[in-house]
Amino acid sequence: MTSAAPQAAGHGSHQPMSPPDEHDSPGVEIERKFLVGELPGDLGRYESDHIDQGYVAIGDDGVEVRLRRRGDRTLLTVKSGPGPVRVEEEMPIEERRFETLWPLTEGRRVIKTRYLVPLGSDLVVELDVYAGDLDGLLTAEIEFPSEQASAAFEPPGWLGPEITGDERYANQSLALRGPPPPSES
């Protein structure tokens, strides 16, 4: 990713967001996830999108089929279970298909605003501020171009404890069970 200044966007902006850089293996994501200790200052200056996400199916092994509306884009995603390296295939779908399938996600949904916060010259933090039943939960995910880059990453001070692979904080678990009680965090 080039080191351009972040685009200004207000809370709930409907500007299309640029996905993180592609990594070496298409269909595989290498990421780490953290709780957020404190929000970066002036969060409103970062590009953001409102996200409605619902789960059509979740396998016992964590494989999921989900629907997502991100700004004005509607997507169908198939993703393998939790971990630092996962298979993920995301496909755009027509609004009509999204609306037809959305009722199947009732009781398995997450609502959040995602902010893209540049970190250095080549990384972007996807900072999620949850709403609804998950109001107050703040998480951050960072995708890496390689496993070596992930292992070498030193998180900034505003990120809290690492929760990579912690199934309690997987969006599908949050959609089904809500946030872990504070004593378990």
Q: Which residues are catalytic?
A: 55
H or E element that contains 39:
none
**Token pair 């929000």: residue:** 39
The rounded distance, in Å, linking the Cα atoms of 22 and 174 is: 27
Tokens 């690492």 appear where?
Answer: 162
Q: Where are the alpha helices (DSSP H) in 29-181?
A: 95-101, 147-152, 171-177
Contact call for residues 65 and 76 (beta carbons, < 8 A)? yes
Q: 184 to each of 5, 68, 89, 127, how far by Cα in Å?
A: 38, 28, 31, 22
Q: Where are the beta strands (DSSP E) in the chain?
A: 28-36, 48-58, 64-70, 73-79, 85-92, 109-119, 123-130, 138-143, 159-162
Angle at 157 between CA 71 and CA 172, to 5 degrees: 40
